[in-house]
Amino acid sequence: MHATDVELVRLHLQETLGEVFGLFGRLVARRQAEDPRAMSRTDYLLLATLQHCRAGQRTSQLAEALGNDASTISRRLTWLESHGLVERLPDPSDGRASIVRLAAAGSDALAVERTARTGLLAEMLVDWPEEDLVELARLIDKLAIDLGRGTGTPSVPTTSGSAS
């Protein structure tokens, strides 16, 4: 492949990824409009991040990991806590701070949302051969790791653990 070919592929990837992320966002937004129990993108990411960090995290760590400001994350955590999905505990290393941890109800709600979102994606990919799905998952995991490295924000581990 020539350098100009590689540049054209990179341009195509950049444009297509933007389009794909936007389309998936609209798919999730449609779910939210149709189901009042559906989670926002931020709530989903917060709960998923906390699921992978059993000991919990400070609000500032969550904000940094998700690329949001601490006030936004704090507001969402307050709402999630009021609905019993997360719990705040004193930070053992600093009594002035708190650690946020996923509550059992949050884990259950995340499982329900994950199943619903997976179902939406399954509908879209119903005609794809299994080998293509496996290859896409592998490449997206690889992309997530590299994007995380590039932004200084490590990728959240996948549920399947298939990141390579």
Measure the CA–CA gap between 73 and 43, rounded to whole angstroms. Answer: 9
Give the pLDDT confidence score for residue 163 in this predicted structure.
41
How many angstroms separate the Cα of 41 from the Cα of each of 25, 72, 110?
Answer: 8, 13, 12
Phi and psi at 89, nearest 5°, equal -130, 155
**In sequence order, what DSSP letters do the residues of 38-94 get, joined into one string?**
PPPHHHHHHHHHHHT-TT-B-HHHHHHHHT--HHHHHHHHHHHHHTTSEEEEEETTE
Contact 115, 38 (CB under 8 A): no
Residue 23 confidence (pLDDT): 93
- Residue numbers in the chain where pLDDT is lower than 70: 1-3, 154-164
Query: What's the farthest any 2 CA atoms get from each other in the chain?
Result: 59
> Contact at 8 Å (CB) between 145 and 163?
yes
